Amino acid sequence: MKRPVVVIATHNLDKLREIRKILGRGPVAVKSLADFPPPYAVRETGKTLEANALLKARAAVRRTGVPALSDDSGLEVNALGGRPGVYSARFAGSGCSYDDNNRKVLRLLKGRPASRRGAVFRCVVALVFPDGRERLFQGRCPGRIVDALRGVGGFGYDPVFLPAGKKKTFAEMPLAEKNRLSHRSRAFRKAAAHLKKIFGPSAR
C-alpha cells in the first residue's frame, strides 16, 4: 500500500537531514521541496516562531498540494532579553553565516560568567493539510552559551550551545545523541506521533 506523502518545507539541507533522522520510517513518505521543482522562496515575515512556521507550511501546501511540515527555531538568550529569537538565522545581518551569528552571540556575552549565560533553544513545528487543518507542536531544550566555539558537527548555534546537564555542545555530539535532546527533535517527535494517529502505525 502506497504511503501518503508529507513534504518538509525547508531548503536548508542540514535541517532536512536532521529532520529525516528524527522522523525515521513512519506512516508517511517524507519528501523535500526539491521533489517539487522549481524552487521557490518564502519570506519569513512573522514576528514569532509560530507565525513563520505556519507561513512556510501553508506556502508548501499551496505549492505541492500535499500536507506539509515546517519548523522555525530560535535561540533565546536570557542575558540578551530573549534575542536572537525569531531572528536567529539572520542575527548578524542579511547574508550572514552560521559563524557570523555565533561570533556575535559570543561577543555580546563576553566576560559574563556561566551563571549569566543561560539560554533555551525553542522549536515550533507547523503541520498544515490541504483541507485547512493546522496543528502546532513545540519543543524546548534549556542550556547555556559556552565562551568559545566548540565542535564541528551540527549547524547554526550548535557550537556555542551546551544543553543543561551535559558536557558537550550540540556540535560536539554525534547526530543520534543530539536528536535525543534537541528542541527540534522534541517538536518533530510530537508531530510524528500526531501523524501516526491520523495515518496509522509505522510502515513496514
Query: Annotated catalytic sites, by residue?
Result: 72
| Residue 133, C-beta contacts closer than 8 angstroms, at least 6 positions apart | none
H or E segment at 37?
none
Residue 185 grid cell? 527533535
3-state secondary structure of 114: helix
Q: What is the dihedral of CA 71, 45, 93, 187, to 10 degrees?
A: -10
Q: Find residue 71's DSSP bridge partners.
A: 125
Chain length of the chain: 204
Q: Which amino acid is at 72?
A: D
Rounded distance between C-alpha atoms, residue 41 and residue 118, angstroms: 34
Residue whose C-alpha is closest to residue 131's, from 198, 183, 179, 84: 198
